[in-house]
Structure 1
Amino acid sequence: MIEHYLLIKHWHMTTAVLSIALFMLRAWWSVREAPILQRRWVKIVPHVNDTLLLTLGILLMVMLSMWPQHHPWLAAKILALLGYILLGTVAIKRGRTPLVRGMAALAAVMTFLYMLGTAIFKDPLWFV
């Protein structure tokens, strides 16, 4: 399995880029109250991609025996992921006004960038 590490890591990074791109597109549509947000593919494709992204992340964690309790950066990334998911639901579904949805989307993108920096630098305080 470890011989496939680079391929799995590449897929993980690719699905992460696709995830944020799809999120930003859906958030834009949500703020604009565009009817395309109700299309079937718009409701399915991002969730399939995000499931693959999470599965690949867990697979990498297991392959490398990297556990959040031993790697603070990984624990921070997982906690940030929960925040990103919550902010994303406000940005796309639960925000009552376009302004609230837009602010939640901006916060979600900033959270995603934090996760990216944390993964790259292997440090939860990489920005300090």
Structure 2
Amino acid sequence: MYLALKHTHVTAAVLSICFFIIRAWWSVSGSALLQKKFVRIAPHVIDTVLLACGLGMAGMLGAAAAAPWLYTKIVLLVAYIIVGTYAIKRGRTPQTRAIAAVIAVLIFMYIVGVALYRSPASWFI
């Protein structure tokens, strides 16, 4: 069961970042595609699956899940969400949205490193 959750989690993470990059590009370029119903709903579905699988795996790990790397992922996830809203919606200019998108992708990459190495140091170990 854990392996199925992990594979679903990783798949949702890949879909999430790919879709985020596409939406960020559309946001910066002012594309009307960003307003399509599917584009507004799909990220919530993907991210719900991503979070549910992550919580399921953390529950299966039990006390081991209370490791510093997991707390780091949670804090970085909140940062990613906040910066991501500036990349897609809240950024007032295309330049601001582009900078926020780059920062959000960097945060996401750091989260991936934390997950792979199970260390708050991420790629820097």
TM-score for the superposition, normalised by structure 1 = 0.93
Aligned equivalent of 1:110: 106
**Residues 61-98 of structure 1: per-residue CA shift (max 9 Å, x gap):** 00111566x31111011000000000110000000000
2:76 corresponds to which residue?
80
Residue of structure 2 in register with 1:90 after alignment: 86
- Report the count of equivalent residues: 124
The share of aligned pairs that are identical, in percent, is 49
Match of 2:5 among 5, 8, 11: 8
User: Which secondary structure state, in structure 2, belongs to the residue aligned with residue 64 of structure 1?
Assistant: helix
Unaligned runs of 5+ in 2: none
Among residues 33, 36, 45, which one is paired with 2:33 in the alignment? 36
What 5-or-longer segments of structure 1 have no aligned partner? none
Judge conservation of contact 1:67–1:74 (CA < 8 Å) in 2.
Answer: no
Give the Å deviation of 1:125.
Answer: 1.0
TM-score between both structures, scaled by the size of structure 2: 0.95
Richer in helix (by share): 2
Dislocated runs of 4+, deviation >6 Å: none
Tell me if 1:64 matches 2:83: no
CA distance in 2, matches of 1:27, 1:39: 14
Conservation of the 8 A alpha-carbon contact between 1:73 and 1:118: yes
